[in-house]
Structure 1
Amino acid sequence: MRSFQGLPVSPGLVIGPVVRIDRGAVGLHRIVSDPFRERALYEAAIVLAKDELRRLQQHACGQDADILMFQIALLEDESFTNEIGDYIAAGAGSAAAVERAEQIFAGRLKNVDDAYIQERSVDVCDVCRRVVDILDGRPRRRLHLTEPSILAADLFYPSDLFGQEPGKILGIVSDSDSETSHAAIMARSMGIPALCHLGEGVADTIAGHRAILDAENGRLTLDPTPVHLEEARRRLDQLRRAGQQPDALASAPCRTRDGTAFTLLASANCSTPQSITAAIQAGVSGIGLVRTESVVVEQIDEAGQIEIYRRCLQNAGDKPVTVRTCDWGADDGGRWIYGVQEQVTDESVVMTQLSALMQAGTQGNLRVVLPMIADGEAWKTRMDQLGRCRAALRERGVPFREDVPVGCLIEIPAAALLAGEIIDGGARFLVIDVDDLTQYTCGVSRKEAGPAYRADNPAVLRLVHGVLEAAKARGVPVHLCGITKAELPALSAYLRTGVRSFCTENAYLSPLKATLMDVDLRTAPEST
């Protein structure tokens, strides 16, 4: 029996055989033809790859659909295509040209000082591997599970988890994935346990063995003894029985130990309205942040956007839903898709989204938050756009909600320092993205360890305190979003600073609530 410690990124406990993702060797027996034939082969492979991705997308939903959409967007990106075409013209084979583009584009993402964007480099590798496999005549589906199994890999590609029969994936373990990787995000959405950061070479070591995956305690036990198996089965029974009962925390009032009330909100993506339903059932007071980058990437028109936003509002019932307008330049790897960047800077894209939101606002309790506002002048520009959008809707004679509350996302120090000026310009509420604000304030990436990046860094807390003071003086509500598992221990500091409304994804709602309920504001914080 051997045990490995890892980073738990999706909770749960399972027992089963370990199956390793084997991607095999590439580049064997390649024959390079003339550049015209190689270019034709590449273009045919792109058509086939996009067709495969679209077929997968038809059966995908939520996060899976977004991943496939991003991969299709890369294959259509002009700079990506030109990079490959130039290398083919210089005499390289089409497969080698794609592999070279994979290194270049994935490398650009890995060098961005943002952990979330760095993790998106795996999308580049995934879709490029698909194209290379087509060119090399290799199968794209690398694994067919015949029994429920624990999947292992050094690094998971999104396509590794697509297309498996329901219930066949018991859990996933990885040598190097992280909390913000697609593997972790998909595991949480699938409700399966996952461990990452097991260490180099572990996936090879554990393949073919039976194991206990304990993502509650971050442990993978290989070839467990009968005693360990019995203990694991007993805990599984306890977890199953607990799962049949309502979450005790869900019905408990949101109050700290000293009786101070707080509010819990959930975050979601507009492409996963079902996650909104799940959050409401978990007892949240509303949806504090809905991301909308997917509507820009998919180039969804006004009517299509209206339907998406309406569905989100309907799933929330009468509870408030805060939709963030597209923020492509700030996350999701948008820096490497030039065509999408052009779309976002095109005012017609912005106006289409604002118009769709105001029309959908008649169907529920909608609020809109605007990202990446640096000062009062930037805020005024967005308010001018909103005014022109209202005027156009009136002229068209279509029903829309005139008084949709519009707020500002505080994610950069400039916005925090000028919060009062932004409120005076018409912001009716503020949303502080603590994760982004910490990164931009401290000037370090999320992957860098140490006290400088802690979410309760004194400089960040001072900025948040200033925002709260400006908002309180003007009677404007504030809530905190961008809360990841790593930030949970810092939340007591924000309670003490004055934050009373918190927003996180569904997987962290219960631990966030438990963390906040355990705080006693009557006592001094423990020194660290």
Structure 2
Amino acid sequence: MLSQLRRIVQDVAQEPSLDSALAGLVRNVKHALRTECCSVYLADYEQQHFMLMATDGLNPDAIGKVSIGFSEGLIGWVGQREEPINLAQAHLHPRFKVTPEVSEDCFSAFLGCPIIHHRKVLGVLTIQQSDSRIFNEDEESFLVTLGVQLASVLVNAEMRKVSAGTSTTQQNSQMQGLIGAPGIAIGEGYILQPASDFDAISLKHSDDPEKELNRFYRAVKVTKAEFNRLAERMSGHLPADALAIFDVYHQLLDAASLGNEIEAQIKLGWCAKSALKLVVERFARQFDDMDDPYLRERGTDIRDLGQRVLNHLLETEQRQHRLPAQVVLVAENVTASMLAEIPRAQLVAIVSLKGSVNSHAAIMARALGIPAVMGVDELPLMQWQGQRLIVDGYQGHILVSPADAICQEYRQLITKDAELSARYQSELHLPAQSSCGQNFSLMVNSGLAIEIETTQSEFTNGVGLYRTEFPFIMRSRFPTELEQVELYRKVFQGYPGKAVVMRTLDVGGDKPLPYFPISEENPFLGWRGIRLTLDHPEIFLVQIRAMLKANIGYNSLHILLPMISDLAEVDESLRLIRQAWFEVDDEFNSENIVAKPKVGVMIEVPSIMFQLPELARKVDFCSVGTNDLTQYLLAVDRNNPRVGNLYDAMHPAVLRALNQLGQQAHGLQFPISICGELGGEPLGVLTLAAMGFNSFSMNHSNLAKIKWLLRRIDLAELRLLLPDVLACQSPKQVRVLVQRFLDQKQLLNQLRA
């Protein structure tokens, strides 16, 4: 049963068009369950109905013509209840709707199962039989399991329809993702590190079969040469019968075998990658179905062969693909090293197929001031290459190959955004002070692009968070002490006379070092931050010494310890910092040159929130990392798009924890600031200001907007709102309250186009 399920889902995923995929689906389900009829209806939310898209047993002429309203008939009932409906005599049920066009009078038994993705009903899968009986538990379980697995395959039906179109087809398709960074951009999709597997390849037609044939021939030639080298290298280590596999590969690539089939598909209009995918997967499935174990293994050989040819096709394509003037970087997971490869003047937006609102990629996008949409994993990666894209970071939308009229509308929004930004910038030189006279300390989060981040240094109170991990991530080895000194000195030079809070190395989780891989089942609860560096004091001590040396002559250094969950970690860190200070002081042979830095702790692990009095006696300050604190309080992996909608720093539980934290720190006279993303968002900063927080560190791109907003706010009015905010039951209610406050102040429409 499990193998049947897997095969049905694979067949649907691999069919070149949605119509043929659904036709194969109902045929295979009918055969697997030995029933008399199987049908599938897909939801159309614009028309508010389910459309019959495929059937094996009902009138085939009704396909694409017969629809059933969301509140009508048994199909509508399955959709409304979002659970299976199993009836022995369906025609006697009060919800049964007579639809003469489908010719279902002969059927009595009915089993309908919803197809649901992210709480949204995509369609209904049904089986029917003439006998009056209840379908048994195995049959119902089969259909439910199939519906769950089909959901991810059918989630983007519109894109599946157009993916078989030519490269010139105007798709006008909209993808929905998660908001990563605000803003709007128009550019061309560019895949920096394309995934070289068939799952990443969507089927596309080509207008130039001759060109595609030549590309295929070149890839075959390179692959054959590769097999010759492998055979020669292994000839002294393998027996002759084992080496024969390379001869088999050669024969399979010849025109009489796979090659002939692939050429035929290219001549039918498919591009080389698509033709290769269609033929390889079809042949591999045929071998998989064979009873003989030896022959079944040949399916693996077919896939290996196809993978090698695909790799060479993709390498050639990537070399030929120019870097667009306006790059929308698309990747499975956007990394700092990827961003470094794109000239900043050309990078206009980011699309990450994985990740969510506060994943590392989203934070980097906000640091650069470019829009980003995360968690768009339904469209195969290669489908994005070369497409004109509109990235709407306000709504989490991506428009693929939009019409010129739509682009013009968005260009007007981009112009309006630029006008608002100029308005904020015009007040950047003014004090960070509320309308009632309350002063704020506004600092910047730095570390990704120091040249950009220091352009506004004179209008800030310094660096509230310097992420030292970026220089580590960008290298192929651990940076030396001297290299770190030079890096950190540039930061102090950029902010003369102002505090610079440097966080010690914070890697692990979603920030791996390429030369220090960490394999863990749950990295966010594992070996990361201070846990890693305390286990490797040689890394920690070198970094602290570099910070101390770079600080000579500036006396601006504050050291921030990440991922602290226990007071013993604080004690050990302080011991190592003292050791590093003595070492540097001895090196310079003077107590007056090397200043002792202030040391603080990041509040991001919930356990340390309950040890604030003890913490205040050990360190000089604390800084709240709202990103990880939210993640740990809500038990939500902030990189997982499946639960991305549950991650929200405006959650009432998070806000209540922050309010208690602020009150306790104030009572202890313990300096506290906010360095997480919440402190750089208008709604978040207002809520935190109402709680009494007055020190915020944010991305440099948000600085002017936040200062502009705070200058128009009376804290007395804002504090009146706080009890209602803390009494809310959902993040949505919180946002409505704060937005209503801004609307009453006539400020809401001045915060975005």
Fold shared per TM-score above 0.5:
yes
The answer for the alignment partner of 1:313 in structure 2 is 492
AA at the equivalent of 2:597: V
1:390 and 2:574 aligned: no
Q: Compute the TM-score of the two structures, normalised by the length of structure 1.
A: 0.66
Give the 3-state SS of the residue equivalent to 2:693 in structure 1.
coil
Q: CA deviation at 1:197?
A: 5.0
The counterpart of 1:354, out of the listed 538, 544, 547, is 544
The answer for the alignment partner of 1:504 in structure 2 is 698
Q: Distance in 1 between matches of 2:323 and 2:429?
A: 40
Q: Compute the TM-score of the two structures, normalised by the length of structure 2.
A: 0.48
The answer for the alignment partner of 1:138 in structure 2 is 315
Q: Is the 2:329–2:347 Cα contact (8 Å) retained in structure 1?
A: no
Q: Is the 1:211–1:222 Cα contact (8 Å) retained in structure 2?
A: yes
Q: Equivalent residues in 2 for 1:116-131 (5 A)?
A: none
1:374 and 2:565 aligned: yes
Q: Distance in 2 between matches of 1:160 and 1:370?
A: 27
The counterpart of 1:250, out of the listed 428, 446, 455, is 428
Which consecutive unaligned segments of at least 5 residues does structure 2 have?
1-170, 199-219, 238-296, 520-526, 726-732, 734-753
Q: CA deviation at 1:444?
A: 2.6
Q: Equivalent residues in 2 for 1:154-169 (5 A)?
A: 155=332
Q: Is the 1:21–1:143 Cα contact (8 Å) retained in structure 2?
A: no
The answer for the alignment partner of 1:88 in structure 2 is none
Superimposed CA distance per residue, residues 473-528 of structure 1 (whole angstroms, 9 cap, x where no aligned partner) = 44331101121599653443322332111122223334544665556324224552
Residues 316 and 205 of structure 1, relative CA distance in 2, 3 Å threshold: same
Q: Is the 2:424–2:708 Cα contact (8 Å) retained in structure 1?
A: no
The answer for the alignment partner of 2:461 in structure 1 is 285
Q: CA deviation at 1:367?
A: 1.0
The counterpart of 2:672, out of the listed 478, 495, 515, is 478
AA at the equivalent of 1:432: V
Q: CA deviation at 1:166?
A: 7.0
The answer for the alignment partner of 1:523 in structure 2 is 720
Residues 494 and 163 of structure 1, relative CA distance in 2, 3 Å threshold: closer
1:265 and 2:443 aligned: yes
The answer for the alignment partner of 1:424 in structure 2 is 617
Q: Distance in 2 between matches of 1:242 and 1:215?
A: 16
1:409 and 2:606 aligned: no
> Relative to structure 2, which stretch is displaced further, 316-325 or 17-26?
17-26
Q: Distance in 1 between matches of 2:662 and 2:232?
A: 62
Q: Distance in 2 between matches of 1:276 and 1:146?
A: 25
AA at the equivalent of 1:382: S
Q: Distance in 1 between matches of 2:659 and 2:197?
A: 55
Q: Distance in 2 between matches of 1:244 and 1:498?
A: 29
AA at the equivalent of 1:387: R
The answer for the alignment partner of 2:512 in structure 1 is 333
Q: Is the 2:500–2:558 Cα contact (8 Å) retained in structure 1?
A: yes
Residues 315 and 464 of structure 1, relative CA distance in 2, 3 Å threshold: same
Q: Distance in 1 between matches of 2:339 and 2:581?
A: 44
Q: CA deviation at 1:254?
A: 2.8
AA at the equivalent of 2:504: T
Q: Distance in 2 between matches of 1:207 and 1:331?
A: 25
Q: CA deviation at 1:289?
A: 0.6
The answer for the alignment partner of 1:303 in structure 2 is 482
The counterpart of 1:322, out of the listed 483, 486, 501, is 501
Q: CA deviation at 1:262?
A: 2.4
Which consecutive unaligned segments of at least 5 residues does structure 1 have?
41-91, 100-128
Residues 331 and 362 of structure 1, relative CA distance in 2, 3 Å threshold: farther
Q: Distance in 1 between matches of 2:636 and 2:411?
A: 43
> Relative to structure 2, which stretch is displaced further, 256-265 or 157-166?
157-166
Q: Distance in 2 between matches of 1:166 and 1:509?
A: 20
Q: Distance in 1 between matches of 2:446 and 2:172?
A: 39
Give the 3-state SS of the residue equivalent to 1:348 in structure 2.
helix
Q: Distance in 1 between matches of 2:343 and 2:596?
A: 46
Residues 432 and 330 of structure 1, relative CA distance in 2, 3 Å threshold: farther
Give the 3-state SS of the residue equivalent to 1:524 in structure 2.
helix
Q: CA deviation at 1:173?
A: 5.1
Q: Distance in 1 between matches of 2:422 and 2:413?
A: 14
Q: Is the 2:649–2:678 Cα contact (8 Å) retained in structure 1?
A: no
Q: CA deviation at 1:315?
A: 0.8
Q: Is the 1:326–1:344 Cα contact (8 Å) retained in structure 2?
A: no
Q: CA deviation at 1:299?
A: 2.1
Q: Is the 2:357–2:644 Cα contact (8 Å) retained in structure 1?
A: no
Q: Is the 2:179–2:372 Cα contact (8 Å) retained in structure 1?
A: yes
Q: CA deviation at 1:253?
A: 3.8
Q: CA deviation at 1:9?
A: 3.8
AA at the equivalent of 2:460: V
Q: Is the 1:154–1:175 Cα contact (8 Å) retained in structure 2?
A: yes
Residues 505 and 162 of structure 1, relative CA distance in 2, 3 Å threshold: closer
Superimposed CA distance per residue, residues 395-443 of structure 1 (whole angstroms, 9 cap, x where no aligned partner) = 3335543331111111112221112112212x11111111212222333
Q: Distance in 1 between matches of 2:178 and 2:440?
A: 29
Q: Distance in 1 between matches of 2:572 and 2:193?
A: 52
The answer for the alignment partner of 1:74 in structure 2 is none
AA at the equivalent of 2:518: I
The counterpart of 1:148, out of the listed 325, 335, 338, is 325
Give the 3-state SS of the residue equivalent to 2:315 in structure 1.
coil
Q: CA deviation at 1:277?
A: 0.5
The answer for the alignment partner of 1:121 in structure 2 is none
> Relative to structure 2, which stretch is displaced further, 474-483 or 297-306?
297-306
Q: Equivalent residues in 2 for 1:82-93 (5 A)?
A: none
> Relative to structure 2, which stretch is displaced further, 182-191 or 368-377?
182-191
1:445 and 2:637 aligned: yes
Q: CA deviation at 1:321?
A: 0.6
Q: Distance in 1 between matches of 2:359 and 2:633?
A: 24
Give the 3-state SS of the residue equivalent to 1:523 in structure 2.
helix
Q: Is the 1:405–1:428 Cα contact (8 Å) retained in structure 2?
A: yes
Superimposed CA distance per residue, residues 26-72 of structure 1 (whole angstroms, 9 cap, x where no aligned partner) = 5985749479759x9xxxxxxxxxxxxxxxxxxxxxxxxxxxxxxxx
Q: Is the 2:333–2:353 Cα contact (8 Å) retained in structure 1?
A: no
Q: Distance in 2 between matches of 1:320 and 1:25?
A: 46
Q: Distance in 1 between matches of 2:408 and 2:472?
A: 51
Q: Distance in 2 between matches of 1:156 and 1:246?
A: 32
AA at the equivalent of 1:442: L
Q: Is the 1:266–1:279 Cα contact (8 Å) retained in structure 2?
A: no
Superimposed CA distance per residue, residues 241-282 of structure 1 (whole angstroms, 9 cap, x where no aligned partner) = 66667713524543445543322211112x63224303425x
Q: Distance in 1 between matches of 2:451 and 2:344?
A: 18
> Relative to structure 2, which stretch is displaced further, 222-231 or 308-317?
222-231
The counterpart of 2:553, out of the listed 363, 366, 383, is 363
